[in-house]
A = this chain, B = another copy of it.
Amino acid sequence: MTDAAQPRPDETYSYLGPAGTFTEAALKQVHEAAGKHWRSVNNVGEALADVVDGRSTAAMIAIENSVDGGVSATQDALATVAGLRIIGEYLVPVNFVLVARPGTRLDEVRVVNAHPVAYAQSRGWLERELPDHAHLPATSNVQAAASLFENGLADAAVAPPGIVDHLDVEVLAESIGDNPNAMTRFVLVSRSRSIPARTGADKTSVIVELPDDEPGSLLAMLEQFSTRGVNMSLLQSRPIGDEMGRYRFVIDLDGHVEDERVYDSLLGLRRFSPKVIFLGSYARADRREVEYHSKYDDEIFIEARDWLRGILSGEPEED
């Protein structure tokens, strides 16, 4: 698993490294990635560039945190980098430990190195237990811990539990995250045009622009789903960026594009919107079967098509 000897792109997976990050924990859940080359990169942009440029077969990137919300960089990259597809979804519980160079005592800690998101999520603990600490920001959770050995600026670091496998640190406190149920949702992104098979427990992701900012155009978009019984599990607005007040929407739908009700919703969406990006259909991380009213069953759609085709072809209807 090193960069040496030009690993084949179809055997390479990019992820936000280094070893020990939550992203690496997500990648460990991917069976196909076991034993392949894992390429550690510095940010979402690099990970997606690896995929686009063919250096990697896929990239694992964080897309949403249950406490912080959508990862803007990811959502914006998926909206603007062409040719990407989500092929899998993974959930990683997010918790943190406070680590230090061996021999450090908790009451000696004055400066804490932490990635801003990690800091925000363990701030309650830090303010309670270390009321006089100062915060030094880091570019990643692992880098926060690594910096302990690079310079003497910080006394301790907020890091993922897996850090102990990679660095010679001492754990001063465990489970310091403010929300014990915090989760990060990751997606595996590739350039492949083939859509993962329907499992019955699927998601479909799209990014949509509204036709204009008339009152009611958002409502008209959402009706494309509701009139076909398709539930949204995510609706996130992101600025298009050209001027204040113009947004695109990142949407996760329950179901697979091969489900008739999802397929028909996407047709309606495409007719409605000046720009729809299909990001993929893939198995849900939680494997929970999609629930929907039986009146939106595939058979209902097929029966209606047969009925109307029969009418157009001049067959006698049955009642």
Chain A residues proximal to chain B, CB less than 8 Å: 64-69, 72-73, 82-83, 91, 116, 120, 135, 137-139, 151, 153, 179, 181, 183, 185, 193-195, 211, 213-216, 218-220, 222-227, 229-239, 241-245, 247, 257-258, 263, 266-268, 270-272, 275, 278, 292, 295-296, 300-301, 303-305, 307-308, 311-312, 314-317, 319
Contacts and interface: CB of A to CB of B under 8 A. Distances in A.
Contacts of A303: 270-271
Given A226-B215, A308-B267, A66 B194 contact: no
B120 A73 contact: yes
Contact of A263 (B214, B245, B270, B308): B308
B244 A229 contact: no
24 contacts: A66-B245, A67-B239, A68-B72, A83-B316, A179-B242, A181-B242, A183-B244, A193-B314, A194-B314, A195-B312, A195-B314, A215-B225, A215-B230, A215-B292, A219-B222, A233-B245, A234-B237, A234-B245, A237-B237, A267-B305, A267-B308, A271-B296, A271-B300, A275-B319
**9 closest Cβ contacts across the A-B interface?**
A270-B304, A193-B314, A66-B244, A215-B231, A137-B137, A271-B304, A267-B304, A219-B222, A69-B239
A199 B116 CA distance: 39
Contacts of A238: 69
Contacts of A65: 239
Contacts of A194: 314
